[in-house]
Structure 1
Amino acid sequence: MKIGLYFGTFNPIHVGHLIIANHMAEHTNLDQVWMVVTPHNPLKKKSTLLDDYHRLQMVYLATEDYPKLKPSDIEFKLPQPNYTVNTLVHLEEKYPNHEFSLIMGEDNLKSLHKWKNYEAILAHHNIYVYPRISTESENLELKNHPKIHIIEAPVVEISSTTIRENIKLGKNIRPLVATKVWEYIDHNLFYKK
């Protein structure tokens, strides 16, 4: 089975994440997209993150009506901070019959050369890249690599940061997240402070 791994803190998961994940599941040769909830991104301050369980629960609520999209807590059990290369090794050992690929935005592809053991990732895994408005494609040195697949996907510029800021300001963000996610956030009074 071909699995696309879409990593994120999903703090919170929003419709932009769902649009990209569903597009990858429907318009590439991937059988499923696993939404891998990252407990701690080395590049983000942990203090701004909602509890891991709550973020996983929101991903579950957002994806339960999409059979090809699956929440994953695989990184919860791995040493912190998480590095993608270590997660891939762990997944290959646990699921030897699956073929794992990465899903990322053009902005992440631009910094891929800074990732731990990025050459090993590129040697063994395909990477499906979706467009971002904020990136000049001409600057992407790796874009012609045989393992890199640029996918024409909808350009979605919704940010979890903006959603959190707007909740704090008392703004209505309901159109930006799945209904069940909004209800979960609202019920738990998340991001109010």
Structure 2
Amino acid sequence: MPHVESGMTVGLFGGSFNPPHGGHGLVAEIALRRLALDQLWWMVTPGNPLKSRRDLAPLAERIALSEKIARNPRIKVTAFERTLGQSYTARTLEKIRERNRDIHFVWIMGADNLKDFHRWQNWQTIARTFPIAVIDRPGATLAYLSSKMAKTFDYARIDEDDAATLALRKAPAWTFIHGPRSTLSSTALRARSE
């Protein structure tokens, strides 16, 4: 895990990044700015239980490509999940919390993931572990109203004008952040290269 100092605010931006693209970079930059983060951990996962491993580029390649996009020195590209021996987000977040008790974390996800968030293993545990920032993505803006997660945790939603306080709040707490959106998608990029 990247080095942190006591009391820091850190965003956790996980995904397969297969391949990473400018849209991921935009989400990371918006999160850094709007959430007032000291760091953002760009967590390249070894695999995604909801996606086929057949189409997954090698981890080293996805890390190298992510490093080319994540140019901000406050963004730390990492693949520490590989050493944990599993790829379920709930367990990863539990390990992060165990090893960093005095750090304020926020889970960051694109709105395109919000609609299927309830399919993730222990999704309600994830929502109760760290606050969540959902960053707008094309075609997914209404997910913050209609998704099962949004409905289940409606009481814990904070206004995006208060996003800079999210890391200091007790989970469950979440916000939806509107802003510039990129039409780039890993799925479309993979389809073009085939």
* TM-score band w.r.t. shorter chain: 0.7 to 0.9
Q: How does 1:74-89 map to 2 (within 5 A)?
A: 74-80=80-86, 82-89=87-94
SS in 2 for 1:25: helix
Quick one: distance in 2 between partners of 1:3 and 1:12? Answer: 23
- AA aligned opposite 2:58: D
Query: Alpha-carbon deviation of 1:9?
Result: 1.1
> Taking structure 1 as the reference length, what is the TM-score of the superposition?
0.78
Structure 1 residues 45 and 141 mapped into 2: Cα distance closer, same or farther (>3 Å)?
Answer: closer
Q: Is the 8 A contact 1:101 1:126 kept in 2?
A: yes
Distance 2:155 2:138 in 1: 21
2:98 corresponding residue in structure 1: 93
Q: CA deviation at 1:153?
A: 2.5
Distance in structure 1 (CA, Å) of the matches to 2:66 and 2:137:
22
Q: Secondary structure at the match of 1:19?
A: helix
SS in 1 for 2:54: helix
Instruction: Tell me which amino acid in the other structure corresponds to 2:40.
Output: V
Runs of 4+ more than 4 Å apart: none
Contact 1:142 1:148 in 2 (8 A): no
Q: Is the 8 A contact 2:118 2:148 kept in 1?
A: no
The gaps in structure 1 that reach 5 residues or longer are 169-193
**Mapping of residues 37-116 of structure 1, within 5 Å:** 37-63=44-70, 65-80=71-86, 82-116=87-121
**Which residue of 2 is the match for residue 122 of structure 1?**
127
CA contact under 8 A between 1:34 and 1:70: conserved in structure 2? yes
Please tell me whether residue 25 in structure 1 is matched to residue 32 in structure 2: yes
Uncovered stretches (5+) of structure 2, i.e. residues with no partner: 1-7, 157-172
Larger radius of gyration: 1
Where in structure 2 are the equivalents of 1:116-155 lying within 5 Å? 116-135=121-140, 136-137=142-143, 138-143=145-150, 144-146=154-156, 147-155=173-181
Q: Bigger shift: 44-53 or 111-120?
A: 111-120
Equivalent residue, structure 2, for 1:5 = 12
Give me the whole-angstrom Cα distance separating, in 2, the residues matched to 1:90 and 1:108: 22
Q: Is the 8 A contact 2:136 2:177 kept in 1?
A: yes
Given residue 146 of structure 2, which amino acid in structure 1 is its aligned partner? N
Deviations 1:154-193 (A, max 9, x none): 222211222233334xxxxxxxxxxxxxxxxxxxxxxxxx
Q: Deviations over 1:89-130 (max 9, x none)?
A: 111222222222111122322222222222222223110001
Structure 1 residues 162, 114: CA separation in 2 closer, same or farther (over 3 Å shift)?
closer
Shift of 1:141: 4.4
- Counterpart CA distance in 2 for 1:145 and 1:53 is 40
